[in-house]
Amino acid sequence: MITLNINGTSHQVDAPADTPLLWILREYVGLTGTKYGCGIAQCGACTVHINGIALRSCQLPAGSMAGQKITTIEGLSPDGTHPVQMAWKELEVAQCGYCQSGQIMAAAALLHQTPSPSDEDIDNAMSNICRCGTYPRIRSAIHAAAGQAAPTAGKV
């Protein structure tokens, strides 16, 4: 039995300790906002916060997460009013939307660490893959969430 603190709630999960956190979130706890993309921690669709740091949950053994504070997209702001979520909606960042929960989680972690990021800061921190190519809108939304003037969407 593994006890996990997910979005401020304690969950006891009967699963092998080496089960990836992603599957615990989706299959055992029912939080499906965190997506499966590649399974090798490269695409970022499965990004969650562990103690405020953006990490890829598909490669994190659930047993090693006991005692950690896990935040998913559902726990970032249950009513969707986190500044990153608001900027995403306002600037219509998502196209297909599949990668967006991971993108939002990565952006929120970036802004927590760097409240006024430069384009270079954003480029270095946002390693998530978006197959639709919404990178210019992602950058603009991060600047908007930071309270900075959003640069033109055409700049990458």
| Per-residue confidence (pLDDT) for residue 151, from 0 to 100 | 45
**pLDDT 10s digits, 62-77:** 999 999 999 999 999 9
| Per-residue confidence (pLDDT) for residue 52, from 0 to 100 | 96
- Residue of 82, 102, 96 whose CA lies nearest to 145: 82
Give just the sign of the alpha carbon dihedral 61, 66, 69, 75: positive
Radius of gyration of the chain measured on its C-alpha atoms: 15
| CB 84, CB 72: distance < 8 Å | no
pLDDT along the chain (156 residues), means of 10: 97 97 98 96 97 97 97 95 95 93 97 96 96 95 84 41
0.85 surpassed by pTM: yes
| CB 39, CB 57: distance < 8 Å | no
| Per-residue confidence (pLDDT) for residue 149, from 0 to 100 | 52
Instruction: Give me the CATH code for the 83-145 domain, please.
Output: 1.10.150.120
Burial class of 147 by CB neighbour count within 10 A (0 to 12, 13 to 18, 19+) = exposed
> Domain coordinates of the chain in residue numbers?
2-74, 83-145
| Per-residue confidence (pLDDT) for residue 127, from 0 to 100 | 95
Interatomic CA distance for residues 91 and 72, integer angstroms = 22
| CB 77, CB 23: distance < 8 Å | no
| Per-residue confidence (pLDDT) for residue 78, from 0 to 100 | 86
**Assigned architecture for domain 2-74:** Roll (3.10)
